[in-house]
Amino acid sequence: MIIMSGAIGAGKSNLTTFVSKHLGTEAFFEPVGDNPILPLFYKDPNHYAFLLQIYFLNKRFAMIKEAMTNDNNVLDRSIYEDSLFFHMNAEMGRCNEEEVKVYDDLLENMMEELPYAAHKKAPDLLVHIDIDITTMLAHIKKRGRDYEQIENDPTLRDYYINLLEHYTPWYEAYDASPKMTIDASQYDFVNSLEDRKIVLKSIDDKLLEIGKIDEDEYASLMLKLERMQLDD
């Protein structure tokens, strides 16, 4: 199982789609479009921060259990990032101490149950998408969700910068599985075929390195890359 990580607008959903198609497996996506709490959070984060993270945690746990039933499935967000978002909001005064304790206890219990519920202790690879604030804002602007736009709420710029700053120590400390980084500010894997091939090959290289695919599977994937078209 492969999991993605990265800030808002990093391109996790797109890369999840590309990797799952490349490997011939299923993609699992974070519930955003049908999330009734997310727009409320952007309007009143102090009131809805705790509820939003509980919602995500519940949906993510169910998604992980389903994804872990087969090999090579790809998730566009990891449960390991949930704590990053929640504790950052707590630092900003959006959650109180009791909510933090309830959340941390719940997450710990879920992680202890994961091997029994999903028959797997951890993912096989974390693919972290790194991005700078300029590229991040451009991506957010392009996808057009009103509640994410800094034009509608100028305070969001500081929130996004804060989020990026939190990801650096989070990624350095992550040790649940092998990990790798993709630079979304350097490689436009959404619009550039050559960049997409470079990114997918780097993931194939890592899977081979950690023993999750063999030489024959790797050769087959390299052939798929040679034949890839932009609409693949």
217 labeled binding residue: no
Task: Give bridge partners of residue 28 from the DSSP assignment.
Answer: 75
CA angle 68, 109, 87 (to 5 degrees): 95
The residue from 34, 44, 71, 76 that is catalytic is 76
Question: Coil, helix or strand for 29?
Answer: coil
The residue whose two tokens read 């993510």 is 60
53 labeled binding residue: yes
Question: Coil, helix or strand for 157?
Answer: helix
Q: Quote the distance between the C-alpha of residue 64 and its chain's center.
A: 13
The answer to whether residue 231 is catalytic is no
30 labeled binding residue: yes
8 Å CB contact between 27 and 1: no
99 labeled binding residue: no
8 Å CB contact between 180 and 126: yes
Token pair in block for residue 86: 């929640």
Question: Coil, helix or strand for 75?
Answer: strand
229 labeled binding residue: no
Sequence letter at residue 163: L
42 labeled binding residue: yes
Number of H helices, E strands in the chain: 9, 5
Active site residues: 76
Binding-site residue ranges for substrate: 30, 42, 53, 77, 82, 148
